[in-house]
A and B are shown apart, each in its own frame.
Chain A
Amino acid sequence: MSILKTKNLSFTYPQISSVHHATINDISFSLDSGETIGIIGHTGSGKSTLLQTLNGLIKPDSGMVFLNEKDLWENPKEIYQKRFKVGLVFQYPEYQLFEETAYKDIAYGPKNMGLSDEEIDLRINEYSALLGITEDNLNKSPFELSGGEKRRVALAGILAMEPDVLVLDEPTAGLDPIGRTMLFNAIKEYQIKTNAGVIIVSHSMEDLSKMCDKLLVLSGGEIKKFGSVKDVFLDSAELNNLGLDVPMVTRVMLELKAKGLDIRSDIFTVDEAAKEILNFFSQSL
Chain B
Amino acid sequence: MQSSFIEVKNVTYKYDEDVENQVAINNVSLSIEKGSFTVILGHNGSGKSTLAKLLNGMLKPDKGRIVIDGLDTSKTENEYEIRKRLGLVFQNPDNQIICTIVEEDVAFGPENLGIEPKEIRKRVDEALSLVGMSDFAKAAPHQLSGGQKQRVALAGILAMEPECIVLDEPTAMLDPIGRKEVINAITRLNKEKNITVILITHFMEEAENADRVIIMNKGEIVADSEPLKVFSMSDVLKSSGLSLPQTTELLTLLKNGGLNVNSGIISPKGTADEIFSVISGR
Contact = CB atoms under 8 A, between A and B. Distances in A.
Interface of A: 13, 15, 17-20, 22, 40-44, 47-48, 91-92, 94, 136, 144-149, 152, 169-170, 173-179, 203, 205-206, 240, 243-245, 247-249, 251-252, 255-256, 259, 261, 270-271, 273-274, 277-278, 280-281, 284
B169 A147 contact: yes
Nearest to A13: B143
A47 B176 CA distance: 15
Most chain B beta-carbon neighbours within 10 Å: one of A47, A136, A173: A173
Contacts of B269: 251, 255
Interface residues of B, number: 56
Contact of B246 (A19, A136, A206, A244): A206
Contact of B143 (A17, A173, A240): A17
Contact of B259 (A19, A249, A277): A277
A274 B45 contact: no
B146 interface: yes
Most chain A beta-carbon neighbours within 10 Å: one of B16, B138, B175: B175
A203 B249 contact: no
B44 A44 contact: no
Given A92-B94, A94-B92, A280-B279, A48 B146 contact: yes
B175 A274 contact: no
A178 B44 CA distance: 9
A147 B44 contact: yes
Contact of B135 (A20, A174, A243): A20
Interface in B111-151: 135-136, 138-140, 143-148, 151
Given A40-B175, A248-B246, A252-B247, 10 more contacts: A43-B173, A94-B92, A173-B172, A176-B44, A178-B241, A203-B176, A243-B175, A245-B177, A248-B268, A249-B268
Most chain A beta-carbon neighbours within 10 Å: one of B151, B249, B276, B279: B279
Contact of B15 (A13, A144, A277): A144
Most chain A beta-carbon neighbours within 10 Å: one of B44, B91, B268, B279: B44
B148 to A, nearest CB: 6
B143 A244 contact: no
Nearest to A151: B44
A228 B92 CA distance: 33
Contacts of B179: 203
Contacts of A91: 146, 173
B259 A281 contact: yes
Given A17-B136, A270-B250, A277-B259, A43 B172 contact: no
Contacts of A243: 175-178
Contacts of B258: 278
A174 B143 contact: no
A175 B94 contact: no
B275 interface: yes
B185 to A, nearest CB: 15
A211 to B, nearest CB: 15
Contacts of B49: 146-147
Interface string B55-93: 000000000000000000000000000000000000110
Contacts of A44: 145, 147-148
